[in-house]
Amino acid sequence: MNLTVWTRLDVVARNLFPFAFTLLLVMGAVIPLRVPDLSPIIPSLGLISIFYWAIYRPGLMPGWAVFLLGLVQDLLSGGPIGIHALVYLLLAAAVGSQRRVLAAGSFTFVWSLFLPAAAVAFFLIWLLYSLNIMAMIDPRSVVFQYLTTVAVYPCLAWLFAQAQRILLR
């Protein structure tokens, strides 16, 4: 074992990638794109990222990181806090319990399981949000956001797979 300081730093930096990149996605989702009608149905990239890393590198996406990412999303969105933190935690825990099956499965298999997982997550966010503000949020717009999130999943998962291959080996 002759790990120098630099190699150790390199390992730490590489291991930070899932968390740091998810944080960038969560913050990047706030950048205004000014594409007409896109804003209300913007896909939830944080959800995809947490789902992916909870399957393939759960050690690099621990509970506190998931909690923190959800909290940042809550604070940036301007809505009630704690909702995304809770739903992301539950998602990561649910994925973690089925990790062996998911990690061994094909891409389409994982994607097909992302559909119900994201549906439950969006439903929970919708429910908690509506309860919190004591008014019902139009479920149609939530469904649209769910659909765009599901549609974006393959692109992001491919990107993560490349990053995982190059950075995390």
Partner 1 sequence: MKRPSGSISHLATPVRAWAHRFAFLLLVASAFGLMLLGKMDSLLVERARTAVTDAAAPLLDAASRPSDAINGMIESLGEMADLRAANSLLRRENDRLRSWQALALELEAENTALRKLTHAVQDSSLRFVSARVIGDPGGAFARSVLVNAGAREGVVKGQAAITSDGLAGRVAEAGMRAARVLLITDINSRIPVLVGKGRDRAILAGDNSAQPKLLYLAPGIEVKPGDRVITSGRGGAFPRGLPVGVVSQAGEGALRIQPFVDWSHLEYLRLAEFEFSGVFQAPATMNANASTEANTAKKSQGAER
Query: Which residues of the shown chain bind partner 1 in the complex (CB under 8 A)?
Result: 27-42, 44, 63-64, 66-67, 70-72, 74-83, 85-86, 89-90, 93, 125-126, 128-129, 132-133, 135, 137-138, 141-142, 144-145
Cβ proximity to partner 1, 123 vs 164, nearer residue:
123
Cβ proximity to partner 1, 5 vs 31, nearer residue:
31
Q: How far is the CB of 71 from partner 1 (least distance, A)?
A: 7
Q: How far is the CB of 162 from partner 1 (least distance, A)?
A: 22
Cβ proximity to partner 1, 72 vs 164, nearer residue:
72
Q: How far is the CB of 8 from partner 1 (least distance, A)?
A: 23
- Residue 146, judged by CB atoms within 10 A of its CB (0-12, 13-18, 19+), counts as buried
**55 within 8 A of 103, measured Cβ to Cβ:** yes
Q: Annotate 66-112 with three-state secondary structure.
A: HHHHHHHHHHHHCCCCCHHHHHHHHHHHHHHHCHHHHHHCCHHHHHH
Cβ proximity to partner 1, 98 vs 164, nearer residue:
98
Query: Would you list the DSSP string of 19-48?
Result: HHHHHHHHHHTTS----TTTGGG---HHHH
Cβ proximity to partner 1, 119 vs 164, nearer residue:
119
Q: How far is the CB of 136 from partner 1 (least distance, A)?
A: 9
Q: How far is the CB of 53 from partner 1 (least distance, A)?
A: 16
DSSP summary character for residue 1: -
**153 within 8 A of 127, measured Cβ to Cβ:** no
